[in-house]
Amino acid sequence: MWDYIFIFIFVIVVLFIVFVIKTYNSLVVLRQRVNNSWAQIDVQLKRRYDLIPNLMETVKGYAAHEKEVFQKVTEARTKAINAQGVEAQGQAENMLSGALKSLFAVAENYPELKANQNFLSLQEELSNTEGKIAFSRQFYNDTVMKFNTKIQVFPQNIIAGFMGFNIIPYFEVAEGERGAVNVKF
């Protein structure tokens, strides 16, 4: 009789340990996917930052007197490059997007600039990069959702809390960025 009770308790303990190990490992894997997806955003943002100076130089050649716009783009780019963390990065990226819209609005006033092949090529590259950033943000947020859900559902939430797993913020756009943007090129 005692042998059966001992075996039953032993099996329960082993199953519990297996469950804890499996849950912990799955949380680590999801956290690594979140880190990887953030790194993918970082790669695309670096590409964007590298394109901006070339684009600004092209526009400067036609609109040298638009110093305020160039200064705003430069400041926004610097803030975005130096931003730390998801929330700060999101805010900095929103500022940079707004500054780039101003730059393209300036370009709208110069027909010869809009016809410049270098400008058109840079504009296309930036547009492609923006699409890749949007996809990377979506992938990041999907991965964060899976991670955050996993650490909040029972009984994983007990193990996640005990092991120090915390909610990860989404990469969100600012309230002003949610509406449709009407930019003409």
pLDDT tens, residue by residue, 44-89: 988 888 888 888 887 877 776 677 888 888 888 888 889 888 888 8
Q: What is the pLDDT of residue 180?
A: 44
Rounded distance between C-alpha atoms, residue 25 and residue 131, angstroms: 33
Query: Is residue 97 in some structural domain?
Result: yes
Distance CA 159, CA 141 (A): 23
Full residue range of the structural domain in which residue 66 is found:
2-169
What crossing angle do the helices spanning 117-152 and 86-108 adopt, rounded to 10°? Answer: 160
Angle, alpha carbons 56-60-65 (nearest 5°): 130
For residue range 89-115, what is the model confidence (pLDDT) as tens digits?
888 888 888 888 888 887 777 777 777
User: Which pair of structure tokens corresponds to residue 64?
Assistant: 């040298």
163 falls within a domain: yes
**pTM of the full structure:** 0.74
* Residue with the larger pLDDT of the pair 65 and 179: 65
CATH number at residue 107: 1.20.1440.20
Structural domain includes residue 33: yes
Residue 179 lies in a domain: no
Write down the pLDDT at residue 178: 46
How many domains does the chain fold into? Answer: 1
Judge whether 91 lies within some domain.
Answer: yes
